[in-house]
Amino acid sequence: MLSSSLQKEVDKLSLRRIALSLQYDGSGFCGWQRQPNGISVQSVLEEAINILDPLRPVKAIAAGRTDSGVHAAGQVVHFDCCGSIPVSRWASALNGRLPKKIRVREAVLRPLTWHACYSAKYRRYRYTIYNSCMPNLFLSPWSWHRYKFRLDEQLMRVALNGLTGFHDFYAFQRSGSNRPHSYTTIQAVQLERCGDLVVIDIQASGFLYGMVRLLIGQLVALGEHRINLQTFEKRWKDRLRTEVKEAAPANGLCFIRAGYEEPIFSKAAGFDDFPRFSLSGIDSPASPPC
């Protein structure tokens, strides 16, 4: 019988780190992270992994923690295993045991020094707004329906571009965060209107708790001319968190991808799997103002 220290060394040598490209429909889940009450994506995934590789308890680590109801098109997750399942079989094996709202796109082998969260250079989110008078049943699970006013996307774009760089974004941080500070770097932003759809992409080195939904709420208030550009800028630059009250709903938000020094997955599995809806965009004009 091996000593405990030697057994640990043997276990370490047999460990493999598997990275997953993961998609999930966030509706019905209490977010990515395991919670005492509610079903999380993490807990469901870990249970499926443990069934396939029961030799040691598994903890799945994600590139970014999504809130309740938020979707993911290219979430990156890693876990360590010591079983004999080939890495090429993990995706199909997990998909056979996961609910249909969670899909593994690809599984690849990574060094034990690689980390889904700490090795990431950026995270990218997309928010979709449906800016039409008429409801749309098929867009409602994936977008925020704003129908009273036509959004001023030009003004919203000016405000969004002003956020790039390293700044204190305390005004866009929900209470309850255990982060030691509220600084982060927004690396890239993009706002496009396609007919009745306004799509906003934000890429950053990291995001504060609730940051994107609070930010989108302020952008929409600006786009509806309920606040002006000066008020928008003053609120975040002067850290006026108490004035940032409206958060965009979770269903319009999607974690698009995380980026690393080198590509982890094939382009088909790891780049941009969330569709840019174009229902009334290219071939037909936007709806008239309500």
Q: Give the position of tokens 């760089």.
A: 165
pLDDT score, position 285: 54
Containing 89, the helix (H) or strand (E) segment is: helix 87-95
Task: Indicate if 82 and 141 belong to the same structural domain.
Answer: no
Task: Indicate if 265 and 129 belong to the same structural domain.
Answer: yes
> Percent of the chain having pLDDT more than 90?
81
pLDDT score, position 175: 85
Is residue 277 in some structural domain? no
- Do the beta carbons of residue 31 and residue 44 sit within 8 Å? no
**pLDDT higher than 50, residue 1:** no
pLDDT score, position 84: 87
Tell me which of 87, 110, 133 is where a domain ends. Answer: 110
| Alpha-carbon span 246 to 286, nearest angstrom | 26
Is residue 279 in some structural domain? no
**pLDDT higher than 70, residue 129:** yes
Task: Indicate if 154 and 228 belong to the same structural domain.
Answer: yes
pLDDT score, position 257: 94
Average pLDDT over residues 95-116: 97
Is residue 275 in some structural domain? no
**pLDDT higher than 60, residue 282:** no
Task: Indicate if 81 and 104 belong to the same structural domain.
Answer: yes
Is residue 17 in some structural domain? yes
Task: Indicate if 260 and 234 belong to the same structural domain.
Answer: yes
Name the residue among 217, 212, 191, 196 with its Cα closest to residue 147.
196
Higher pLDDT, 218 or 284: 218
Name the residue among 90, 225, 81 with its Cα closest to residue 152.
225
Is residue 134 in some structural domain? yes
Question: What total number of domains does the chain contain?
Answer: 2
Looking at this protein, which amino acid is placed at residue 148?
Answer: K
- Do the beta carbons of residue 105 and residue 265 sit within 8 Å? yes
Is residue 183 in some structural domain? yes
CB count within 10 Å of CB 161 equals 12
pLDDT score, position 171: 96
| Alpha-carbon span 89 to 33, nearest angstrom | 25
Domain range for residue 164? 122-270
Task: Indicate if 79 and 146 belong to the same structural domain.
Answer: no
- Write the pLDDT tens digit of every residue in 38-50: 999 999 999 999 9
Which residues carry out catalysis? Answer: 67
| Alpha-carbon span 143 to 251, nearest angstrom | 6
Task: Indicate if 129 and 266 belong to the same structural domain.
Answer: yes
CATH of the domain at 232: 3.30.70.660
| Alpha-carbon span 117 to 113, nearest angstrom | 12
CATH of the domain at 41: 3.30.70.580
